[in-house]
Amino acid sequence: MGLVSGYYGRWVDSIIMRLVDVMLAFPGILLALALVSILGPSLPNLMIAVGISSVPTYARLVRGSVLAAKENVYVDAARVVGCSDPLIMRRHVLPNVVAPIIVVATLGIAAAILWAAALS
């Protein structure tokens, strides 16, 4: 979501980020609790609920990183050569966005464990 939003911008960015804002309006633990109650009490459903409720954080992080990465010269060069947008996103932008995601995901694992303990 964040990759597409940050790369295309304009109305695509606006729609996706409003959806993310709606998800951020609810506390994550309450959203996870609602999802677990809808999906049923099991470990896979718990992991799905925790994952879905943490999506907005990662979407905003990826969007910000993509906004910075798409301004680089190599993205313009790939566009001039004739690469399609999905190819540019996959080959040139995504590898430069992975580093911040790994850092935040490392910290997010601890939060996910705490959420899973709170919901079980």
pLDDT digits (tens, 9 = 90+) for 28-70: 888 888 888 898 888 888 889 889 988 999 999 999 999 999 8
Q: Are 12 and 5 in contact (CB under 8 A)?
A: yes
Mapped onto helix, strand or coil, the DSSP state of residue 47 is: helix
The pLDDT assigned to 7 comes to 86
Please state the domain extents for the chain: 2-119
Percentage above 70 pLDDT, the chain: 100
Dist CA 66 CA 21 (whole Å) = 18
Q: Where are the alpha helices (DSSP H) in 2-93?
A: 2-8, 10-25, 28-39, 43-53, 55-69, 73-81, 85-88
